[in-house]
Amino acid sequence: MSSIDWKLVSLGKLALINAKSISGKYPYKEIEYIDTSSVTGNEFSPLQRLKLIDAPSRAKRIVQHGDTIISTVRPIQRHFGFIRNPKANTIASTGFAVITPKNVNPEFLYYYLSQDSITNYLNGIAETSTTTFPAFRPEVLSELEILIPEDENIQRRIAEILSALDDKIELNRQTNATLEAIAQAIFKEWFVDFNFPGATGEMVESELGMIPKGWRVGKLGDFGEIRCGKTPSKTNENFFGGNIPFIKIPDMHNSVFIVETSDTLTHEGALSQKNKFLPPNSIIVSCIATIGLVSLTAEKSQTNQQINAIVPYRDILTHYAYFTAKNLKDQLMELGSGGSATLNVNTSSFSNIKCVIPSDYVLSSFEFLVKPLFEGILANQQEILTIAKYRDELLPKLMNGEIDV
């Protein structure tokens, strides 16, 4: 322990839990809604904008700047985040505990509660619950004892060190969003509006409508080999825990490239289904239950059976196929809804989806322009991973006084 004075305090003395909820006098007719699936590890997806009258019954918790939100259901999934400058009509699900600080630095409190030790503690309590899903009562948080520096300036300095790392992570995420948006805009200009290099304006009829002369209608299977993933036998413990990424749908959320997976395979596990390997820059598409997520593999990987992959026959097809797949979500949803309670697009149906295939000259020109953008995205994602690992190693050392600030 450092020379700094620390004290043990119950969270209930430092913060309010679920202090504000929507009442009959709520002034807004529309809300920005945070569901438990909207945030993981402080990374927020775009919020849903809903009419209050149409919002789910659990849309009740009023949040404000400086609040920490933690999902009370399955805490091991790390659905928590720090609320920063929300719109006045931002509402969180009752699936969250909303923690409003009173006598503690708000960001310090968030970082303290984001520690793996706290997540594991809350998950242990949730696992003993008798509810349908593992969950803890919000009152548990009030009783939680936490160790904090008595000097609020020390709390602030610890928070500043950690938030500087998170600010860099957020900057990289914003940069990546901009890079992908630039590539998406080029795709639209060339392949939707048909303003591509060398365009003559001469169009021909096709089964997908008018297309430029020299282009053709094909199918997704023309872009590359279509492979459906598979899960190795879970009864063999030697198949899991190696260094080969094993991609599942949750790994794909908010990820252009898959640079980290929750599960990995050993060489033995991967070789038990060696025809399921995917090389880098394969396009992967979620096709069961959660349909239409699209990502790229960053390294040699395998996926589970809920994901179909396109292994491009030629490099010039890679990013055109990526954006084509991203634009197919509605069609995939329609294909997947036939006669089953769970959405499911099989490999054959996926492979045969019709699409426009431009000339090689246009594909090569497009790849030449956007490939550096995607290389930048991958480099930024890898840097995010490095910074996040450093932050997570630093966090408990700052929180237990091992490092002076």
Final residue of a structural domain among 321, 337, 357: 357
Pair 150, 5: CB distance under 8 Å = yes
Look at the alpha carbons of 38, 169, 70, 125 in this order and tell me if their dihedral is positive or negative. positive
Q: Among residues 341, 357, 373, which one ends one of the domains?
A: 357
CATH for 280: 3.90.220.20
User: How many beta carbons lie within 10 A of that of residue 186, not counting itself?
Assistant: 18
- Tell me which H or E stretch contains 40: strand 39-40
256 and 234 within one domain: yes
Structure tokens at 27: 């002034």
The answer on 157 and 143 residing in a single domain is no
Q: Give backbone dihedrals phi and psi of 229, rounded to 5 degrees, phi first.
A: -75, 180
Residue 125, in any domain of the structure:
yes
Sequence-ordered list of residues with C-beta below 8 angstroms from that of 368, at least 6 positions apart, any chain: none
Give me the amino acid identity at 19. A
Count of domains forming the chain: 3
- Smallest Cα–Cα separation from 49: which of 69, 39, 35, 37? 35
18 and 74 housed in the same domain: yes
Say whether both 145 and 19 belong to one domain: yes
Asked if residue 190 is part of any domain, the answer here is: yes
Tell me whether residue 165 is exposed, middle or buried, using C-beta atoms within 10 angstroms of its C-beta: 0 to 12, 13 to 18, 19 or more.
middle
Structure tokens at 66: 């400086």
Phi and psi of 69, rounded to 5°? -115, 135
Maximal C-alpha separation, the chain: 78
Give the pLDDT confidence score for residue 289 in this predicted structure.
87
Q: Are 16 and 99 in contact (CB under 8 A)?
A: yes
Which pLDDT belongs to residue 404? Answer: 85
Structural domain containing residue 76: 6-150
Residue 336 lies in a domain: yes
Q: Cβ(180)–Cβ(257) under 8 Å?
A: no
Is the residue at 201 inside a domain? no
List % helix, strand, coil for the chain (3-state, nearest 5): 40, 25, 35
Can you give the pLDDT at residue 247?
98
Tens digit of each residue's pLDDT, the chain (405 residues): 456 789 999 999 999 999 999 988 899 999 999 999 899 999 998 899 999 999 999 999 999 999 999 999 999 999 999 999 999 999 999 999 999 999 999 999 999 999 999 999 999 999 998 888 899 999 999 999 999 999 999 999 999 999 999 999 999 999 999 999 999 999 999 999 999 999 999 999 999 999 999 999 999 999 999 999 999 999 999 999 999 999 999 999 889 999 999 999 999 999 999 999 999 999 999 999 889 999 999 999 999 999 999 999 999 999 999 999 999 999 998 888 766 667 888 999 999 999 999 999 999 999 999 999 999 999 999 999 999 999 999 999 999 889 888
CB 163 within 8 A of CB 368: no
